[in-house]
Amino acid sequence: MINASSPSPRHAPEAQPLPPPVSERPGGHVQQIVNGVVSFGILLCLAELGVADHLADRPRNVTDLAELCEADPEHLHRILRAATSLGLLRATGQPGTYALTREGRTLRQDLPDSMRPAVLMAADPLWLESIRLLPETVRAGRPALPRPTYDYLADNPAAGDLFHRFMRTRAIPVAEAIAKLDFRGVRTVVDVGGGGGTVLGKVLRTHTHCTGVLLERPDVAGIAAQHLAALGLRDRCTTVEGDFFHSVPEGADVYLLTSIVHNWSDDDAGLILRNVRKAMESADRPAQVWCVDLLRPAFPARFGPPPMATILDVRMLGLFGGGQERSQAEYESLMARNGLKVTRVEPFPNDMHLMVATLPE
């Protein structure tokens, strides 16, 4: 019998099914999670040594590969053997000879959506430190990292360059999906925290009647300007060095916020959204926010490989403290608290979603 104080069955949290046994031995599953660190090391060797590039056109034996990768043949062979059990390489049957699998091929550097920058980024000292310090971050309720992540990237050009290469690979499918949206009536697009310019570049190349403004930190604006100039967009695009916590350029029909809001706490994200709203209010025609991020599923997590939103949520916790993946309801509430109304939500590639927001009527 259900009494008034029990939640109705419709709203009761879903019962969690018992996880199937992963291992006969208690602790076997925990051991598998620990082993992930070593699996990552194997992946890192393939990515950093360029193994996938040297196997791109044909299988090779370990002696040839070691020479091409400038590695010790015996040590490399141990990694190649281990990589076969991870499904990244396969032994061809010829002694000591390996070929790429479909997954291993994604590590090739020459692919625009190569996974190599994602692997190298995960091995960056600050990224690794953010994981090692997670317990401290959780204890303190703020990032335990010695300095803000974007300041670190600004002061370490090699890490910054890698981050922007990594973001570019992630931005390509987003850029393609945005470029397919309806740009009739859109004259100017402001890309807020537009990174290396992948998204704005694609939009302006596809919609030749549009002009664009890319707002970025001073250390990144130059990278974006170079990319946009290389696309031949110098006359239709301006790059603005600035700070979205301070202000956002006025005069746009569309304000892009791709992979921005999830970096920040509600307070910080609110500041960015209010600056966007202020810019929208100053215009003589209605404007829209096009916000693209992952949506955290509202239902309780189930046993199984964690979805990307769960992994990125913890990644944001480690790197940014208040950064987080939000549910659709949390985005709607965040927008509403900062004077914006979500009017449309649609799925985007890579588990992302587009949220269109306007000024309330």
- 216 near ligand SAM, judged by CB under 6 A: yes
Residue 112: both structure tokens together: 């625009």
- 183 near ligand SAM, judged by CB under 6 A: no
Nearest residue (CB) to ligand SAM, 245 versus 303: 245
Q: In angstroms, what CA-CA distances link 5 with 1, 2, 128?
A: 11, 8, 46
With residue 257 as reference, give the H or E element that holds it: strand 254-258
Among 193, 201, 212, 249, binds ligand SAM (CB under 6 A): 193
With residue 41 as reference, give the H or E element that holds it: helix 28-49
- 195 near ligand SAM, judged by CB under 6 A: yes
Q: How far is the CB of 82 from ligand SAM (least distance, A)?
A: 32
- 169 near ligand SAM, judged by CB under 6 A: no
Q: Alpha-carbon distance 289 to 270, whole Å? A: 14
Among 107, 162, 167, 340, binds ligand SAM (CB under 6 A): 167
Residue 50: both structure tokens together: 């360029």
- 293 near ligand SAM, judged by CB under 6 A: no
Nearest residue (CB) to ligand SAM, 104 versus 194: 194
Nearest residue (CB) to ligand SAM, 50 versus 195: 195
Instruction: Tell me which stretch binds ligand SAM (CB under 6 A): 26-34, 65-73, 259-267, 312-320.
Output: 259-267
Q: Alpha-carbon distance 45 to 296, whole Å? A: 32
Q: How far is the CB of 245 from ligand SAM (least distance, A)?
A: 5
- 220 near ligand SAM, judged by CB under 6 A: yes
Among 88, 171, 228, 335, binds ligand SAM (CB under 6 A): 171
Instruction: Tell me which stretch binds ligand SAM (CB under 6 A): 62-70, 112-120, 257-265, 324-332.
Output: 257-265
Binding to ligand SAM in span 119-158, by CB under 6 A: 150
Integer Rg of the chain from CA: 23
- 215 near ligand SAM, judged by CB under 6 A: yes
DSSP for 208-220 reads TT-EEEEEE-HHH
Binding to ligand SAM in span 47-106, by CB under 6 A: none
Nearest residue (CB) to ligand SAM, 239 versus 263: 263
> In 10 A of CB 161, how many CB atoms?
14
Among 82, 126, 260, 335, binds ligand SAM (CB under 6 A): 260
Q: Alpha-carbon distance 333 to 328, whole Å? A: 9
Which amino acid is present at 181? Answer: L
Q: Alpha-carbon distance 162 to 19, whole Å? A: 38
Instruction: Tell me which stretch binds ligand SAM (CB under 6 A): 203-211, 237-245, 299-307, 346-354.
Output: 237-245
Q: How far is the CB of 191 from ligand SAM (least distance, A)?
A: 7
Q: 200 with 189: CB under 8 angstroms?
A: yes
Q: Alpha-carbon distance 196 to 29, whole Å? A: 40
Cα end-to-end span (Å), the chain: 46
DSSP for 316-357 reads HHHHHSS---B-HHHHHHHHHHTT-EEEEEEE-STTEEEEEE
Among 104, 143, 194, 249, binds ligand SAM (CB under 6 A): 194
Residues engaged in binding ligand SAM (CB under 6 A)? 150, 167, 171, 174, 193-195, 198-199, 215-217, 220, 243-245, 258-260, 263
